[in-house]
Structure 1
Amino acid sequence: MRVRIYPLALGKAVKYTMMDLEREVAGLLIGKYEKKQDILEIWDAISGNQKSSSAFVYLDEEVMAATFEWLTKERPGLSIVGWYHSHPGFDLFLSTIDIETQKRYQMMFPKAVAMVIDPLEYVKTRKLVDLKFKVFHIDREGRVVPLRVSIGIQRKKVIESTIRGMDTVDLFFIQSPEPQEREEYKFTAFSSLGEKFKKLRERFTSF
């Protein structure tokens, strides 16, 4: 599988990750899968309420539910195709927590991907050559596989994805965990995340 991301989607994901360079920032990737070409297209990137630190980020459980409902009503043909998050100042990879999160996305949508962005150098230079990001998928053997990514240039889809993406509304707020939460927060986040994905999977299968 290859990934094709359209300019506005990449721009929005980068913009969100630049909003906080000391903590991880996350959001959802919106698009579609072209089966004949085996290409996952990313048309849009959004974000929402979340808790984060320099080591992890956790999207509010209502963000995905609200996004799914909005797409069903307002954007037929598009769906949640993955997620993105930042690793400000360190390598592009999926951590242990990231891998578990990605597995849950792939339970809902087997072609789902995870994009990791490090915006620090780009913030300093504003040169595209310094914009660092990778897209990952977990294969059937459980291996984390980096995917080949291209920038979408088809004129019709560039225009359509731009118009649709500009109409997306984000509710963006980053909250740090309270100090007393930090030790047990990983477990709490996983428990809540599991319930969220269970509910969303039921939503997907009901349509």
Structure 2
Amino acid sequence: MKVRIYPLALGKAVKYTLMDLEREVAGLLIGKYEKKQDILEIWDAISGNQKSSSAFVYLEEEVMAATFEWLTRERPGLNIVGWYHSHPGFDLFLSTIDIETQKRYQMMFPKAVAMVINPLEYVKTRKLVDLKFKVFHIDREGRIIPLRVSIGIQRKKLIESTIRGMDTVDLFFIQSTEPQEQEEYKFTAFSSLGEKFKKLRGKFTSF
């Protein structure tokens, strides 16, 4: 599978990660899967309430529920196709917690991806060549696969994704967590998130 991300979606994801360079920032990727071409298209990126530290981030489950309801009502044909988060100052990889999170996204949408962004060099130079990001997927054998990513330039979809993406509203709030509090939150968050994914899974398109 290949990934095609449209400029506004990438720009919005980067913008959100730049809002806090001390802690990880996360959000959802919106798009669609083109089965014939085996390409996952990312049209939009949003964010919302989350708990975060320099090495951990959890997007509140209400953000996903509200996004799903909004997509169903306002954007038929588009899905939550994955998530993004920042690794400020770190390499581009999926941590143990990231892997568990990604598995849950793939339970809901089998083609879901995880995008990891390190925005620090870009902040210093403002040059696109210094914008570091990678997109990952977990295959059936449990291997973490880096995916090839291209920038979407197809005229009709470029215009449509831009117009739709500019109409998206975000509720952005980050709450810092202390180490002990962070561990307790991760346990309760993942238990709750697992139940939320079970409820939403049947509502999403699967392949």
**TM bucket normalised to smaller:** over 0.9
TM-score in terms of structure 1 length: 0.96
Return the offset for 1:192.
2.0
**Corresponding residue for 1:33?**
33
Looking at structure 2, the residues matched to 68 and 171 of structure 1 have their Cα atoms a distance apart, in angstroms, of: 15
Return the offset for 1:203.
4.1
Which deviates more, 47-56 or 188-197? 188-197
Return the offset for 1:180.
5.3
Change (3 A) 1:205 1:12: closer
Looking at structure 1, the residues matched to 124 and 53 of structure 2 have their Cα atoms a distance apart, in angstroms, of: 22
Looking at structure 2, the residues matched to 77 and 190 of structure 1 have their Cα atoms a distance apart, in angstroms, of: 28
Asked whether the 8 Å contact 2:79–2:204 carries over to 1, the reply is no
Looking at structure 1, the residues matched to 154 and 42 of structure 2 have their Cα atoms a distance apart, in angstroms, of: 13
Secondary structure of the residue aligned to 2:114 is strand
Matches within 5 A, 1:47-58: 47-58=47-58
Seq. identity, %: 94
Asked whether the 8 Å contact 2:108–2:202 carries over to 1, the reply is no
Return the offset for 1:179.
6.2
Secondary structure of the residue aligned to 2:168 is coil
Matches within 5 A, 1:1-207: 1-177=1-177, 181-204=181-204
Return the offset for 1:54.
0.6
Structure 1 residues 82-141: Cα deviation after superposition (integer angstroms, max 9, x where no partner): 000000000000000000000000011110000000000001100000000000000010
Which deviates more, 175-184 or 129-138? 175-184
Structure 1 residues 3-53: Cα deviation after superposition (integer angstroms, max 9, x where no partner): 000000000000000000010000000000000000000000000000000
Which deviates more, 97-106 or 174-183? 174-183
Change (3 A) 1:206 1:119: closer
Q: Which consecutive unaligned segments of at least 5 residues does structure 1 have?
A: none
Which deviates more, 192-201 or 83-92? 192-201
Secondary structure of the residue aligned to 1:204 is coil
Looking at structure 2, the residues matched to 66 and 34 of structure 1 have their Cα atoms a distance apart, in angstroms, of: 25
Asked whether the 8 Å contact 2:5–2:150 carries over to 1, the reply is yes
Looking at structure 1, the residues matched to 5 and 100 of structure 2 have their Cα atoms a distance apart, in angstroms, of: 24
Looking at structure 1, the residues matched to 21 and 170 of structure 2 have their Cα atoms a distance apart, in angstroms, of: 19
Asked whether the 8 Å contact 2:21–2:88 carries over to 1, the reply is yes
Q: Which consecutive unaligned segments of at least 5 residues does structure 2 have?
A: none
Return the offset for 1:68.
0.3
Return the offset for 1:190.
1.6
Return the offset for 1:176.
1.0
Asked whether the 8 Å contact 2:4–2:149 carries over to 1, the reply is yes
Return the offset for 1:178.
5.1
Change (3 A) 1:180 1:138: closer
Return the offset for 1:169.
0.2
Asked whether the 8 Å contact 2:30–2:43 carries over to 1, the reply is yes
Looking at structure 1, the residues matched to 135 and 72 of structure 2 have their Cα atoms a distance apart, in angstroms, of: 25
May I ask how many residue pairs the two structures share in their alignment? 207
TM-score in terms of structure 2 length: 0.96
